[in-house]
Amino acid sequence: MGKAVPITEEKDFRAIFSSKENAIIYFTATWCGPCKMVSPQFGKLSNLNSKFKFYKLDNDEMLDIFRECKVTSIPYFKKVVAGEIVDDLLTVDPDILSNWVLKE
């Protein structure tokens, strides 16, 4: 895919699961300092792993989804395989994020 697609509407978030696709979802916020540290690495990873589509959700635009997904700290990531959440990660470490995204 090459770039994280911003999700700004609930229907687009739900489509990730109904389409049964593989995805990495990044929960972030423009005001989040730690998110700014890990965002460049997330962008690079979207070019390295073609098995997943990469999405990002901003806390200020998608607060209801953050609450529904029980995301209370950011940056937070969820891995979706065939429409099901299979793993999640809370980290500001670019190396930990890389290993998590690239592991099979």
Helix (H) or strand (E) holding 6: strand 5-7
Q: Where are the beta strands (DSSP E) in 10-103?
A: 23-28, 53-58, 76-81, 84-90
At 17-70, the pLDDT tens digits run 999 889 999 999 999 999 999 999 998 998 888 889 999 999 999 999 999 999
Active-site amino acid positions: 32, 35
State yes or no: pLDDT of 16 exceeds 90.
yes
Q: Which residues pair with 24 in a beta bridge?
A: 54, 79
* Residue 1: band (very low, low, confident or very high) from pLDDT cuts 50, 70, 90: very low
Tokens standing for residue 67: 């609450």
pLDDT tens profile 69-80: 999 999 999 999
Q: What are phi and psi of 46, to 5 degrees?
A: -65, -20
- Torsion angle of the four alpha carbons 5, 95, 50, 16, in this order, in degrees rounded to the nearest 10: -40
Q: What is the pLDDT of residue 79?
A: 96
pLDDT given for residue 102 in this prediction: 87
Which domains are present in the chain? 5-102 (3.40.30.10)
